[in-house]
Structure 1
């Protein structure tokens, strides 16, 4: 009986075949397409007594909330049914299955849930593929483990999925019904939005303040230098709460003292060494690529995934910047495959042990590094990111950067002045980067100012002082890179000292694998917009956060709440906490939130939203809690329409002098008689109708779900290719069947 390998995606299946070589003949190798099973929609859990819309969907009503499934249901995705069936047929004869999902909790679940779907009871092993090059594939298959060892990872992924469903489905419906407009909420999405909203408000309400820094121009026998005034204390008159000098008269008086004889009261010159930065985690790479190349977080993740699938770099969704000590011996092989300049090759020392090699700091994955496979032919973003990745690895085997740190205190005019400087001794690993500075090394400009070598007691002469006017600056707008960093270090945005200390050690918002998609989702839902590199909150995004705060629901916009839930997810993944502890905590929180929303006020239209109008009225076509909101067309200024809070309940309504009018596109019912066709592939038991296009081509249409199909090429009495559906535009309310594409 065969052993079946189920890979997460086709590219991984191909890499396994190539990596195993002749051994691949011993296996049946198949693949999923990511998750091919998905959580059921709320309609699957609501009773049949709930009224339905014209499209057969159950109406969104406050009285049905919260929806808390007693038994969770999953269904095959439409476009994956055939592949799922193929996997099922292989499992019928398999005595062993090897789970080859991505090496993370989602990768664990998406193969495990297929086995659970088919109630497979044979032996299951796990292969942990950190990279897809031949050597790593062979090593991984030589170290197979029991799949049961990774059961906690599967439980954590399932708990994450269920928790996200409970938060998203219930709160999105509740706020949408209250507002009359679609307001999606999410366990990670909403507190991430709150970070941007609060940053934007802080910037817009920021009032700049002037302050002063006083410098003395000093002359020494070895050269001139600038020294900055060091006050004896900053809590007296003339200073603000941050210790900045704000009194102009005092600043000018100090500057006037910077003339005449003085002496060096202390001089220090110390040799310092700086090792190369740690190799990249995904978030660290996203931060650098955003700053240097203007790449979005999603672009970085997608590009890293492509490099991984091309086998030139290791697994990208990692939060770790360290490497296993046993992989140090791979260095000669990997370095030989990299485009290291000849001037650098002579400096490499493969015996050098950088602090990055540390087993104690390895998480589920290690840092992103090259695999040693040829990377020829890369271009664009792939080439740019690979350049960052391979250089971060090569730098580990180069000498440390050596420099001399200089510091002097000068007594002049009865005041103390300080000067600092730096003298390079050996660039070391920095030679690899030329004149490009890395984020980790960007420091104080004053520390880089020239400072001659002095001696304690040396005479200096003050040649005048200057009070420089400076101005406080607001915090910077978020970019993809800085928002990813904020999500990774969420403790910096928490005020409670106890929570801050706890979160500093453990938590972030989301995971390395999900943060980029969270940002993209906020943009697609029109909560955030991009302006160059900057991410800026929209009126709709601000309205949602303000509403949650006004309804005593700020916990869903509080990063600490989700970060604590992420802590629980990590504990579940490590087998320390049962998954039910998280799902129960989330469910209790959502129940309380829905109860408050039922009693609370409606969400008003965003102030200054431009395209939205404050008018909200009961829907004239629906019953219950449904409302309609007056909106302005995005393409035709001055054209208004009305949208119902019950998504897909009926067409949009025309605007009749500020009141809801007739539905757009109201059609007479189609009373024509059609011949019966094959049963619909989605609505089993429902016969399709045999129809014809405007040009006379036959096709089949399901009267229930509106899916349309071409006849099968070989047997016209069977269903063939399904017509594609149009992707909804950002902010659109429905997905409609598109026009058929021409067949080849």
Structure 2
């Protein structure tokens, strides 16, 4: 018997509809097996709590580092596991039909290992569940052993999360009081939110000014902005903004009089349609457009995939394999395209998105060509977004003139930029908001020539203020997790992480965010995500004890190591052993804290802004109870003076600075200056 084991019932149905005559098809129910709880590794001598029925938490039992990892069946899936086991006894060949990612690989492999299956195993890689895609995939079955390293990476991720979560959570929380859950990915993600909220809370707006001249030319009037010859010296801030109102008003008086056009340039620009969506790109766009949470987007995309109308959703890639370009005409024919635009659709157009070399384990999310049928409101919205991103690849480029000019008047230079449309191209279908990196302004400027006379009708001063950074939303937090290099200060680490790393994966980021909400570390207020007092307390405490646990660079590097495991460049045992060593050290540090320190807020509450970098300090106490403040970046410490920053501690007589729990080489942290820009 040839047996297909699919990841879930919907996938099994799609496979059965296509190859059911040749194969017996069954399914798992997601992960049927799970790693054993700490109780399974602790000795029987550990007392059992009468309330929970589980062994009590004791410091002396930490850290818990399994020598041999145990997996146990989930209670709710035991019957399905037995059914699969009975079928495996009769199978000569098994096809692993897990989702096309590392978790999908592990999910089926661990079932085969649980039953000790020794027959031949092949792997089917299903990027979509429509009939055409399933038929193609089953014609390309591969030896399952080829994906062993992918399975190892998934298991390494699971074991690393267990080690960090089980041990650090117990060590930080103690045997009583509130539980402070700590996780390999969730904790640095929480730190992103907390630090952003701190930057907003501590933000001090600063006034600055722009000076405009109202200019008249025989071909039309326009506004031009003053361009200083230099922004050095008094009157300008460190960002080159004009901060002196008197100087601004003086410059404005020079916006009246005779002038001449000293520069004029009009260039035709072409802009191709944006790349189709990855999951994180779709989550960001749907959050902005419809206010959908990251988890809602993931669930809807999974539903569309299971309905066979879009491809696999958990992808970090925005490119498409060239060999699928031949399916474009069929897919386009199945989509509802406005009549006035359909005539412009060119099925033989080859957008830069078709690039096999840039396709990773999965390609971008696109329609399959199957009829969508009846969809719910949210499903229809997301399907239309996915369909529009695909159709846009076959529409003409957006063409426009980019215009820039300069006016010399009264010894000053005044500049303006604008854009004049030629052909909207793909933007007639898909709003330009999908392509936000557009530096051109929309103002329309007349055609001029260098040397043309122009007349300044007068100047005006526009008063502005610097703005704090924006609160995170589901979409922008997912983007931050995907592009963690933007929040790293060390230039070498930033360069490395820009090319390789993020926090979590496309498949897990939405779940991490929901975990933070569930554990009351963050809350949603409209579209915004805000940290709670509990979340801030945990991050402040860890900044003062174990900066590595809130440093996104640490987790990003762990993800790099897992990628090496997935590619066969590193053994899973070496990865897990490294994490175990860190956990031993971290647990020792956490257990050395004063009992109740985190729960009571002592030693971890927020203090006033650091005088050197404006980052929120931690309010700490010495062993004798003397209060002081210290910055997570290592500035200070400063003694407390009536709740404010006092004198900086100065060594005398060889005495050491008070022990605060900060590492000698604190983890790199993200902070924002008073102007709202990231700074070192």
TM over 0.5: yes
User: Displacement, 1:607?
Assistant: 6.1
1:129–1:453 Cα change, 3 Å: same
Q: Deviations over 1:468-489 (max 9, x none)?
A: 0000000000000000000000
Deviation at 1:31, TM superposition (A): 0.2
Distance 1:441 1:219, change over 3 A: same
Contact 2:274 2:434 in 1 (8 A): no
The answer to whether the 8 A contact 2:172-2:591 is kept is: no
- 541, 549, 558: which one aligns with 2:543: 549
Residue 382, structure 1, aligned to residue 379, structure 2: yes
Deviation at 1:171, TM superposition (A): 0.5
Matched residue count: 600
Question: Which moved further from structure 2: 172-181 or 469-478?
Answer: 172-181
Match of 1:323 in 2: 320
Q: Residues 451 and 179 (structure 1 numbering): CA distance in 2 closer, same or farther, change over 3 Å?
A: farther
Map of 1:26 onto structure 2: 22
Which of 31, 34, 38 is matched with 1:38 structurally? Answer: 34
How far the C-alpha of 1:601 sits from its partner, in A, is 2.6
SS at match of 1:438: helix
Give SS of 1:25's match. Answer: coil
Matches within 5 A, 1:234-253: 234-253=231-250
- Residue in 2 that maps onto 1:3: 2
Matches within 5 A, 1:171-210: 171-177=168-174, 180-210=177-207
Partner of 1:86: 83
Give me the CA root mean square deviation: 1.2
Report the secondary structure of 1:215's partner residue: strand
Indicate the SS of the match to 1:347: coil
Give structure 1 regions of 4+ aligned residues with deviation exceeding 3 angstroms: 441-444, 604-608
Superimposed CA distance per residue, residues 143-176 of structure 1 (whole angstroms, 9 cap, x where no aligned partner):
0000000111100000000000000000011111
Q: 1:473 & 1:253 partners in 2: Cα distance?
A: 26
Deviation track 1:470-523 (CA, whole Å, cap 9, x = no partner) reads 000000000000000000000000111111111010000000000000000000
Query: What is the alpha-carbon distance in structure 2 between the residues aligned to residue 606 and residue 395 of structure 1?
Result: 56
Superposed displacement of residue 307, structure 1: 0.1
Question: 1:597 Cα shift?
Answer: 1.3
Q: Is the 8 A contact 1:331 1:350 kept in 2?
A: yes
Instruction: Give the whole-Å Cα distance in 2 for the aligned partners of 1:601 and 1:580.
Output: 34
| 3-state DSSP of counterpart to 1:14 | helix
Aligned equivalent of 1:590, options 575, 583, 595: 583
Aligned position for 1:111: 108
Correspondence for 1:480 among 462, 474, 477? 474
Match of 2:513 among 509, 514, 519: 519
Matches within 5 A, 1:268-287: 268-287=265-284
The residue number in structure 1 matching 2:615 is: none
Distance 1:15 1:235 in 2: 67
SS class of match (2:429):
helix
Specify the alignment match of 1:438 in structure 2. 433
8 Å CA contact 1:539–1:607 kept in 2: the answer is no
Structure 1 position 467, deviation (Å): 1.1
CA distance, structure 2, for counterparts of residue 156 and residue 230 of structure 1: 54
The 2-side partners of 1:255 and 1:583 are apart by 65
The 3 A distance-change label for structure 1 pair 178 and 261 is farther
Give the drift of 1:606.
6.4
- The aligned residue for residue 673 of structure 1 is none
Q: Deviations over 1:408-443 (max 9, x none)?
A: 01101100111111000001111113xx44242464
Residues 416-565 of structure 1 aligned to structure 2 (within 5 Å):
416-433=413-430, 436-441=431-436, 443=438, 447-551=441-545, 553-565=546-558
Quick check: 1:571 aligned with 2:564? yes
Query: For 1:536-572, what per-residue CA distance to the aligned partner results, in whole angstroms no more than 9, with x for missing partners?
Result: 0000000001111112x01001100000000011111
C-alpha distance in 1 between matches for 2:396 and 2:146:
41
1:555/1:179 CA distance change after superposition, 3 Å? farther
- Normalised to the residue count of structure 2, the TM-score between the two structures is 0.87
Q: Secondary structure at the match of 2:121?
A: strand
Max radius of gyration: which structure? 1
Native 8 Å contact 2:172 2:598 kept in 1? no
User: Matches of 1:56 and 1:606 in 2, distance apart?
Assistant: 27
Mean alpha-carbon deviation: is it higher for 345-354 or for 577-586? Answer: 577-586
For residues 541 and 571 of structure 1, what CA distance do their matches in structure 2 show?
32
How far is the alpha carbon of 1:274 from its aligned partner? 0.3
Asked whether the 8 Å contact 2:255–2:410 carries over to 1, the reply is yes
SS in structure 1 opposite 2:21? Answer: helix
2:305 equivalent in structure 1: 308
Deviation at 1:581?
2.4
Work out the CA distance in 1 between the residues paired with 2:306 and 2:157. Answer: 26
Deviations 1:159-200 (A, max 9, x none): 000000000000011111077211111000000000000000
Moved more, 50-59 or 528-537: 50-59
Q: Render the CA deviation track for 1:201-239: whole Å, top value 9, x for unaligned.
A: 000000000000111100011000000011111121100
Displacement of 1:598 in angstroms is 1.7
Deviations 1:697-719 (A, max 9, x none): xxxxxxxxxxxxxxxxxxxxxxx
Matched residue of 1:72: which SS? Answer: coil
Matched position secondary structure for 2:497 = helix
Partner of 2:454, secondary structure, is strand
Distance 2:175 2:488 in 1: 29
Kindly indicate whether the alpha-carbon contact (under 8 Å) linking 1:539 and 1:606 is maintained by their aligned counterparts in 2: no
TM-score by length of 1: 0.80
1:364 alignment partner, SS class: coil
Contact map agreement 1:213 1:229 (CA 8 A) in 2? yes
